[in-house]
Structure 1
Amino acid sequence: MKAVQVVGYHTKLQLADIPEPGIEGPFDVIVRIGGAGVCRTDIHILEGQWKDKSGVALPYTIGHENAGWVHAVGDAVTNVGVGDKVILHPLITCGLCRACRAGDDVHCQDSQFPGIDTDGGYAEFLRTTARSVVRIDDELEPADVAALADAGLTAYHAAAKVARATRPGDVCVVIGAGGLGHIGIQVLEAISGVTVVALDRNPDAVDLAVKVGADHGIVADGTHVQQVLDLTDGNGAEAVVDFVGEGGATREGITMLRRAGNYYVVGYGENIDVPTIDVVSTEINFIGNLVGSYNDLQDLMVLASQGKVTLHTTNYRLEDFQRALDDLGAGGVRGRAILVP
């Protein structure tokens, strides 16, 4: 089969012909990929940022946002059958550790992460397990929802935390209205009562944010912090969801946060530099977000089937993977880029 592989860090991906994966265990599921999301994390992988964390042996197939059709199943698989449309939770989990038994499987003690530390979905087929597949509505197509497997799941995970910690009328600033941000805004509108303020450097991204449900859209033009403070009577927002995490976003985002507010860190790339006395005196909280649970993905797919969360996508052939990465890196992708084998 055709697969796009990492052959070295600080070098370009390569298209290769490798053997198709087969059933190795009773709970294995082979998925024929219908869409694989192109994520900024894939760029970070090539930059070597995940080299020590993943410990993956090269070459390997990249791609951690995947959806498609069930191609083959192990003898013990009962939740899906051949031909079913599925989206894949990004982790392969054990189901036995305390985290898994508590439904917090994103923190499984014995997990694999296809596309990060084992073969992923920039390919025609992918091996996962019955614990990782979620059936999707017949009206949804794999290429249309693939990026919900990670970008959407991560955005939902953070937005659900905001919903649990806020009251109707509270203000939530969303920093970054791109691939993750435009999903997070829709989720916030669907499951919370917050007033959403979308912030981005790109006017087109701000326009998209307002179209998908943001109550206010602000272009980051140097006056944006003051605009947020003006909207909140000088108090700041109860919640800030930072989908950027670099380029000074955290420094500015913290100044938009009110006393006892919550700062949800999703994007990454820079350090958070805050005097500890400021954290203590204002009782602000910093909350990390790493993808989401299997149950989160199920909930997200319900919203997708109801039409409350939709992805804005640009499709590329699998062979055009480099163009997709280049477009993403240059900021030329509105929403999410999807590779379609």
Structure 2
Amino acid sequence: MDDDVIEVAGLRRSYGAFEAVRGLSLRIPRGELFALLGTNGAGKTTTIEVLEGLQAPTSGRVRVLGLDPIANRAELRPRTGVMLQRGGFTGSLTVRETVDFWRSLTVRPYPVAEVLEMVDLTDRANVAVEQLSGGEGRRLELALAVLGRPELLFLDEPTTGMDPASRRHAWEVVRELQRNGTTILLTTHYLEEAEALADRVAIMRAGHIVATGAPEDVVGTLPARISFRLATPVDGLPDLPDTTRTVEGDRVTYETGRLQDDLTRLLDWANTGGLRLVALSARPATLEDVFLDIAADRDPADRDPADRQTETEPAR
């Protein structure tokens, strides 16, 4: 479809006898920020490299901006931006010289001053690249990835090495690019980053997508948790319907699909009995919980494997 910037159907990619990607299908509409997540070896890097035109699929259909990323790579390259996990800079050049050089190879580039201001490197413009900190180097790589005003931006672990303030600033740069119409495909091991930025996420395991949807929908496949310690022993704990209770020493944990209701019941029980709940914690599941659940080879929901590998229709 014209609105689909990325369309993948039945993608397989093998290295000899090993199949890294096993029938993957997904669609990313124009203007979406889509996060592709997975443990090391899940197949996400291979998937990204196929989309970037760096590897040919073994089988399946892949279209990026309506084009074949291998056959039409020369046509696609000026319309896309790529930020790899590691850049390859000439360390003796200054930041400004590096951007100037990349501008000479780029169609419709931003002015140097504008792109350096975008990534908060204005005051480092005359510093040699080899003297930049790790986080500053990543911000320079982000500047070069967006220099050509890409329609589609690939971000591979974009904030690795950044301090928390720089990471938040990079998030704002990414959000502004999306607001201006750029479609973004993000891979990251910072799951709070995906949860904060992505319209949709997909989590890969063993070459398949096993969970996909809006972050809150994916997170909603796992129960919330209420945990506490008892200041004094009790004869019995309340039984809450449709919850799972575990007791480890004096630590009690309930897993529930009704966080507010069950927390209210527990507080009423404690108040009625004059009990003090020590280190009380009540929180919904997080994307990290889902990720770890999948990494431990447990599915986030009891669904048929064929259903888990089928991409759902994105919201329009």
Would you say same fold, with TM above 0.5? no
Indicate the structure (1 or 2) with the bigger Cα radius of gyration: 2
